[in-house]
Chains A and B, each alone.
Chain A
Amino acid sequence: MRLLLALLIISLECLSHAAEEKEGPIRLATAPSGEYAVDWTAPDGPPRVVSKPDGAVIAELKIPESEQSSGDHSMATPLPFISPDSNWVFVMNVDNDAPPPESFSRPSALFRRTRSSDGTIHFEAATPDRFDKAAWEFLDKELKLGRPDLPPDAKRVYSASFIDWSRDSARLLLSVGGGAWSPSKSEWVEAAAYTWYCYFNTRSGKFELTDRLRTADTRPERKSNTSDDAFALLAVVTNAESIGEEGPQSSPKERFDVVDKRLNDVYDKLIAKIEPAKRESIRNEQRAWLISRDTEAEIAALQMWSSGREATARILESKAISTEARVAELEKLLSGSQVK
């Protein structure tokens, strides 16, 4: 009897535990101000803005359907990127499992936080049409990107990928692409291989190009398929310019190459100068530091959701910063008392 009672208690306990384990919403991002968060229930729920103090749903961040959009994006994962001042949320849908042309497409929307007279928070779309489409149309007008004579059945497909928010939240940096797909031929009739940069200026409510972006967008390397990082990285932008702080971006490749050479020089001098008994210890320390530097650089690029050339540039930036610190450490060691 006691055994049966024990079985019953265990079963009830497990049933209640199973109920608690039911899949709930995933927290996608938390506003830097801490006021709200964006949650999502997989696989097809819309992202929801929830109040941080009480978890109440404030808004749904639904990306509007495009007239030209085709295919099923219900399995896409929404990725929200909240501005530093927490007033803007850029959401892009990513679906790497979709067949072309949807695999290229990155439907996106930008939402602005507003407050009504009674203090209630709302989120509204910053553009009436789909954000990725509006961004492409702006760039097409500025840079003459699209082919004018598309076949009648061609469908234009757009992508707008997040790159960065400026520190003052005034500019959202995007990488924008567009291609045209023929459903009858099941092929691209206008290549969707390239992307271009543009900003959305949250103060003027318009897309724009600065000299930094226009230079990168019009460089021949932008359309190169070379795997040579040094060449391809000439046309990469990773940092959004704040208002009043516009200017060219320094090359991460050059910065890293310079400091990497300095590191090798200092390290060689240290190994030559140090007591032989300490050499192995320094070598082991340097190996461990290299593993740590490269790992931290990959993590930094992942935390910014970078891919392709932007990821390569951010990894080099991070490596350059760590290497500069390491050079300073080794120089101190070289001039210090530890060396004979």
Chain B
Amino acid sequence: MRTKLSTLFALTTAAALATTIESAALVAQSSTVIPPSCATRDGNRHMTVYFAENRVRRVQVLIDARHLSGLSGSRLVRMSFRKDIKGADMYGRIRGNETTPMVVNASFTDAKADMPSAIFRDNHGSKVVEIFRGGLALPRVSPTDGRAVATFASTEAPTFVFKQPLDIVAGKTLCLDFESFPASAGHEWEWPIDAETHRVAGTSRVIGSACWNSKSTPVTTVMESSLRPGMHLKSTSRTPPNTAAAFLMYGLSDQFAFGTVPLPLTIAAPACQLVVSPDVFVPAIFFHRLRASDEGHTSQIVPTPQIAAMYGSTLYLQYLFLVSGATPSLATGNGIAAKFTSDTPTLGVSLVATTNTTGSSGRVFLDFAPVIELESR
């Protein structure tokens, strides 16, 4: 009888202990969605940079510490991206055999999510952990989806199970560093993920006009959402027929060139005017369309520093062209007064991305986040 009682006691104790341990584990496990505003709604953008046929990318995601404060566990063990609902038709080419070889490194760092460096190394902390290496299989999902938002279930979400847990360091920024390597499934495909951005834009004003008869005006424009200190200023322009060389002039004034010469200044006939101070003069790659005698295309992307003086400041720019013909001549596009935003980042997540995985730096995308679920234990 005593033996039976003691056996029963032991079994009961063991069962209770197991339940306690299991409960503790369940309590300690928690997850959070980044950015939190996308927990119950589809993000306002999508990203195709991670998963696509034969794609090479390096993308760093910097996540502010405040977004991790709700996690009860002490170590990150798993993360998932989410299907994009608004662009669901893009999954129509997915067959279910698509895989992306990836390496993911992570660290907790003093770098700021609102002010990342374009240099990848500078965004990492001292202890970098490889949390994933291998082929990430992309789930086959429906190209029609009437839901408001997708889930993070592994049946429809690309999921990374960490090969080793990552200790959470309170108060520090999480740097997730994704490298994607090319692989072919034998057909063209892409698997977009849900993303969110806080769009902040500067403003632009056209100065003068191009000195050739263009199909479209203004010939030169800037992407106003690129007018954020710390990102890259993007401009595009039509080029005149028979362009032989293209240059972009950046200046600090549209009133005086070099501080002394009044603008506008006619530099070629007919009415080709310099309307900005050519303080910085850079070559621009340009392209012909079907024929050299058509108008062509040029563009320029230039990084801008994230310094206080840049916020709300105005930079002037104008393209200058050398045109071939019986007599070579100059032509000018319209000028642009590009005013940078005064608003600083607010999302608490930013990206640094490049298509050159051997390069040391990338382009900075402030207030831009893939929608991620992080799980801790």
Q: Do A and B come from one complex?
A: no
